[in-house]
Amino acid sequence: MMELLPINVKEVFMACAVNEIQDDSIVIEGCLSKTPFNPKALEIHKEDIKSMLSQLPEGFSKGGGWSFIMACDNKEGAQWTGDHTTMDNLFKLGMAIEKVVCPFPRNMWPALAGGMPYYEVTLD
């Protein structure tokens, strides 16, 4: 099990992201930026990504998801990061392996808490 830590998110993100879009790239637009990913690297790190997502608060896996701003804490309520880029990278990894969805389109985000998106995590 990979622990939800900023260094672990960074390592997996750097292993899966590519600098230029290739024919087989999976391009994900997150809250803060758009990133192309290598599908083979995502497959290699899929269980690590799922493990880290599973340590987010339960609100992300219930009834339509939860606000991005709540992703700085883990399930135990302890802050694991204060960096929005790290949180965004974790959600982009999750979307790239189809374990995270953003249930509201970007044009609705201003109406949500803090103007931030909601994310729903499904690990079944």
Question: Could you tell me if residue 78 is inside a domain?
Answer: yes
Question: Could you tell me if residue 11 is inside a domain?
Answer: yes
Question: Could you tell me if residue 1 is inside a domain?
Answer: no
**pLDDT, tens only, 63-100:** 889 999 999 999 999 999 999 999 999 999 999 999 99
**DSSP structural state of residue 14:** H
What's the total number of domains in the chain?
Answer: 1
**pLDDT, tens only, 47-71:** 999 999 999 999 999 888 999 999 9
Question: Could you tell me if residue 83 is inside a domain?
Answer: yes
Question: Could you tell me if residue 109 is inside a domain?
Answer: yes
Q: Which domain holds residue 14?
A: 6-121
Beta strands in the chain (DSSP E): 26-29, 34-37, 66-67, 100-101, 118-121
Question: Residue type at 78?
Answer: A
